[in-house]
Structure 1
Amino acid sequence: MGKAGWVRIIPFATFMAFIGVQQLLELSVSKGWLDLTAQQMLYLYPLKTVLVLGLILFFWRQYTELQLSDFKNLRHSIASIGIGLLVFILWINMDWGFTALGESKGFDPFLIESATSRNLLIFSRLFGAALVVPIMEELFWRSFMLRYVITANFSSVRIGTFTLTSFLICAVLFGLEHNLILAGIMAGAAYSGLLYWTKSIYQCVLAHAVTNLILGIYVLQTGHWQFW
């Protein structure tokens, strides 16, 4: 696998490690080992966003598959935006209890009394969800994992190469990464399908960013924090 694999794994693994840290802190609080409030726990998100963004920027030159020129194809870009919107619509309508992996407490910035701190948290959440997460996840899932399932020498596989096995495995694993498993599988399948058509990681990033940005705006407008 080598360096090419690790530079795509490390930002994602770091982000996921923070989820483990949060769960450990929540357990410690419930056992009385630590005295942390729900408000204080919210600050983990901007911390992990900044750290993961720093890793992405540090490895940036290694991500040669990210080509801004891909956006010149307006047909692809418009389709990516449309798929992002479609995934959002399906996502908020697939919140069936039997598909949920545990209970999502969500991210409610209005637990913070200070307007300045609250607005900074909202900005960090939107920025992280709409920019950092799409780049991080698409580099891991669509650039690395889809190809790695085909062969360990993933760099030898062209971006957007389809095999049924890699498609199904990555869709399911992408779903298991999320609280709403079936919604996650749907989103993973949609973004992978977009990749097979466009052969562009950046188009997948665009679709993913649209989904997350619109979802964030929806959550702020409705107060359905479980989607965050």
Structure 2
Amino acid sequence: MFDRADFCRIAPFGAYVFFMVLEDVLLKFGWEANDLRMLYVVKIAVVVGLLWVMRKAYSELRWPIDSSFRTWMVAISAGVIVFIAWINLTADWMVMGEAVGFDPRDNDEIDWFLVTVRLIGAALVVPVMEELFWRSFLMRWIDHPSFLTVNPAQVGLKAFCITAALFALAHSLWFAGLFAGIVYNLLYMRSGTLWSPILAHATTNGILGAWVICTGNWGFW
């Protein structure tokens, strides 16, 4: 059902999800969230390792030589808008389950190693890994199993909606996730380059990380 091209985009995302599930299981078995913080370091290291090993398979990550300055400004602006939506779309009905968050403090002292890894992971690693899976692979694969042949601009409404909905369900702030999924989908389809949603996603996560550190709203991490 899946070939090598599929696997290379599923594996890093699958590894990330595996560690999320592992953390949930350990919490249910009585582990404290603070005792599992280093698991994020391992998770990011594994994902980076997989992305690096399979880097030659990611043809969609070749830098677009014909991209315009406007493309990147639109992506950055979209990332800022998604960030604003993310911290405001928090009504009870917009939240699914309860997010554990990531609190890098020990006795009210911030562990800057953990903060640095979290920021790098959220702003640099996760956007590449997730956009390879959600936009480049899944959204196009729903349209046609030979997804690499699908022009992003020609993705159908069904694939667009399913991808946005699943992206929403992957986040506890599901309504904000839905909004983000729609924005990132549109960026990919309009620009034709995966670097556009990657940049937007990185902008969202980077600003969110800085905001979390400045305000202490660790639940958003």
**Fold similarity call, TM over 0.5:** yes
Aligned position for 2:24: 23
Deviations 1:138-167 (A, max 9, x none): 000110001111112222212342211011
TM-score with structure 2 length normalisation? 0.95
Deviations 1:10-30 (A, max 9, x none): 00011011111001100111x
Q: Which deviates further from its counterpart, 69-78 or 83-92?
A: 69-78
Contact 2:79 2:202 in 1 (8 A): yes
Aligned position for 2:212: 219
Identity %: 38
Contact 1:71 1:77 in 2 (8 A): no
Q: Find runs of 4+ consecutive structure 1 residues off by over 3 angstroms.
A: 69-72, 111-115
> In the TM superposition, what are the counterparts of 1:149-188 in structure 2 within 5 Å?
149-188=142-181
Letter in 2 for 1:206: L
Contact 2:33 2:100 in 1 (8 A): no
Aligned position for 1:11: 12
Q: Determine helix, strand or coil for the equivalent of 2:124.
A: helix
* Structure 1 stretches lacking a partner, 5+ long: 30-35
Q: Determine helix, strand or coil for the equivalent of 2:59.
A: coil
Provide the rounded CA distance (Å) in 2 between the counterparts of 1:141 and 1:161: 16
* Correspondence for 2:78 among 67, 80, 83: 83
* Structure 2 stretches lacking a partner, 5+ long: none
Aligned position for 1:132: 125
Q: Determine helix, strand or coil for the equivalent of 1:65.
A: helix
* Correspondence for 2:97 among 102, 125, 133: 102
Q: RMSD of aligned C-alpha atoms?
A: 1.5
- Change over 3 Å in CA distance of 1:128–1:183 after alignment to 2: same
Provide the rounded CA distance (Å) in 1 between the counterparts of 2:107 and 2:152: 43
Aligned length: 220
> In the TM superposition, what are the counterparts of 1:34-73 in structure 2 within 5 Å?
36-69=31-64, 72-73=67-68
